[in-house]
């Protein structure tokens, strides 16, 4: 595989995109095929995003509940993660529908090919958000108010890559917003220590999504889309490693504040091992290896959650 070249953050000269109108074959799409199109639009066939959103939410929920979160809240937040991640994918593809056709990895997405119309996508987005809001109504007033922030950030993120080299920071906020909501739903309050978890997850998200952006860097440069991978240039892997170190530091401080025990810190050690492997495996910056490093972060998040669960069970 040809090695990926690093780039400086200077904005490339780009030609205006001309996306041919997608052609749809009328009368030949079976209902089962349509369902598959919507499943792909919501990325339910690629659950990695669900995992990366779920584990931090469960960290917060388990710590807020001191190892015994209510079954009701667990169900609400697990379903909410699936629904809001699906909604995020839909609005992301809506925002990128004129770009995705120019990127090898995304050119077959349902909106890019015309298998799903923009109207259908917006209706689906509204339905997913509506169902998520119904779930939040089962919690309390503070959590309901916080949910509006989650919606705003989720809707804003897909458009940020056009205007800033830091869309990953906005994604980090979107993927972390469920953590304060978990605290307010479980305890009715939001302790200052909870923001350490929030900050840790924002930093972690910026790191692993930079790996994701490194896999698409060549295409992004051609079409004028911005990312931290382009901004960081040759320092990309070093900066990711630094971000992952800061993530572990914030989690370590949170562990002290929440009086966590040895099992929690063992989970952090396992996560550190995951980060070291990712750094080593991407030494050649090959796009597929960068993408695999992004996927691998799921195991780090899972290890930390298991550490939290076992730590409380061992008491």
pLDDT in tens, 282-295: 999 999 999 999 99
- Asked if residues 266 and 16 have their Cβ atoms less than 8 Å apart, the reply is no
- Over residues 210-228, mean pLDDT: 91
| Residue 221 in this model has a pLDDT that exceeds 70 | yes
pLDDT in tens, 259-277: 999 999 999 999 999 999 9
CB burial of residue 164 (10 Å; 0-12, 13-18, 19+):
middle
pTM comes to: 0.87
3-12, 180-189, 242-251: least confidently modelled range = 3-12
- Looking at residue 222, what is its pLDDT? 86
- Output the average pLDDT for the chain: 89
- Looking at residue 62, what is its pLDDT? 98
Quick count: other Cβ atoms within 10 Å of Cβ 299?
A: 17
More confident residue, 111 or 312: 312
| Residue 4 in this model has a pLDDT that exceeds 60 | no
- Asked if residues 230 and 224 have their Cβ atoms less than 8 Å apart, the reply is no
| Residue 150 in this model has a pLDDT that exceeds 70 | yes
Alpha-carbon distance of 291 to 178, in angstroms, equals 25
CA 129 to chain CA centroid, Å, is 17
Q: How far separated are the first and last CA of the chain, in Å rounded? A: 50
- Looking at residue 99, what is its pLDDT? 80
For 95, half-sphere exposure in the C-beta direction (CA atoms, 13 angstrom radius) is 17
Q: Which residues contact 262 (CB under 8 A, 6 or more apart)?
A: 311
Domains and CATH numbers, the chain: 32-313 (1.10.357.140)
- Over residues 200-228, mean pLDDT: 94
97-106, 132-141, 151-160, 229-238: least confidently modelled range = 97-106
- What crossing angle do the helices spanning 71-95 and 31-41 adopt, rounded to 10°? 100
Model confidence band, residue 220 (pLDDT cutoffs 50, 70, 90): confident
- Looking at residue 107, what is its pLDDT? 83
């Amino acid at each position: 595989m040809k090695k990926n070249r690093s780039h400086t953050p200077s904005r490339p000269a780009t030609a205006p995109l001309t996306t041919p109108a997608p052609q749809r074959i009328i009368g030949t799409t079976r209902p089962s095929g349509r369902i598959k199109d919507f499943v792909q639009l919501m990325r339910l066939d690629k659950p990695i995003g669900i995992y990366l959103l779920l584990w931090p939410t469960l960290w917060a929920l388990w710590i807020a509940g001191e190892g015994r979160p209510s079954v009701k809240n667990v169900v609400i937040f697990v379903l909410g993660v699936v629904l809001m991640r699906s909604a995020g994918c839909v609005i992301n593809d809506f925002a990128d529908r004129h770009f995705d056709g120019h990127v090898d990895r995304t050119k077959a997405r349902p909106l890019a090919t015309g298998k799903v119309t923009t109207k259908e996508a917006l209706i689906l987005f509204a339905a997913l958000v509506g169902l998520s809001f119904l779930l939040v109504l089962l919690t309390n007033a503070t959590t309901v108010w916080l949910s509006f922030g989650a919606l705003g950030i989720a809707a804003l993120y897909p458009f940020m890559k056009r205007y800033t080299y830091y869309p990953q920071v906005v994604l980090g906020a979107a993927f972390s917003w469920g953590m304060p909501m978990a605290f307010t739903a479980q305890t009715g309050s939001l302790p200052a220590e909870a923001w350490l978890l929030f900050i840790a997850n924002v930093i972690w998200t910026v790191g692993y999504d930079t790996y994701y952006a490194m896999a698409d860097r060549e295409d992004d440069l051609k079409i004028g889309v911005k990312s931290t991978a382009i901004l960081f240039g040759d320092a990309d892997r070093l900066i990711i490693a630094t971000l992952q170190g800061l993530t572990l530091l914030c989690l370590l401080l949170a562990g002290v504040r929440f009086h966590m025990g040895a099992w929690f810190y063992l989970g952090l050690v396992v996560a550190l091992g995951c980060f070291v492997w990712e750094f080593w495996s991407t030494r050649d910056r090959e796009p597929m290896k960068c993408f695999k490093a992004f996927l691998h972060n799921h195991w780090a998040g899972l290890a930390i959650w298991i550490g939290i669960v076992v730590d409380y069970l061992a008491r």
